[in-house]
């Protein structure tokens, strides 16, 4: 017999809640390590997110052009 849909929804909600709690417990070093970058690189990427979208686009295009010419 299948569980009622509301029980499934509660189970999904509880699982998501526990994943969110685990995410908030991670340090910047943990996140950088998972991404394969340094803490400084993570910090720099986070600073880029504060730029207006037009400047973010300029950074991406400039980075792409520099990477292509290596």
What is the number of alpha carbons within 13 Å of residue 36 lying toward its C-beta?
0
Residue linked to tokens 């052009």: 65
Domain positions in the chain = 5-68
**Farthest CA pair distance, the chain:** 62
The predicted model gives 4-13 an average pLDDT of 80
> Could you read off the pLDDT of 20-44 as tens digits, one per residue?
877 778 888 888 898 899 999 988 8
pLDDT of residue 38: 92
Q: Report the distance separating Cα 61 and Cα 27, nearest Å.
A: 30
- pTM for this predicted structure: 0.48
pLDDT at 48 over 90: no
pLDDT of residue 50: 83
Higher pLDDT, 63 or 6: 6
């Amino acid at each position: 017999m299948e569980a009622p849909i509301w029980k499934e929804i509660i189970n999904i909600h509880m699982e998501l809640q526990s994943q969110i709690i685990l995410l908030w417990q991670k340090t910047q070093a943990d996140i950088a390590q998972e991404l394969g970058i340094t803490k400084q690189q993570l910090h720099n990427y986070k600073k880029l997110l504060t730029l207006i979208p037009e400047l973010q686009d300029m950074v991406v295009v400039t980075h792409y052009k520099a990477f292509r010419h290596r």
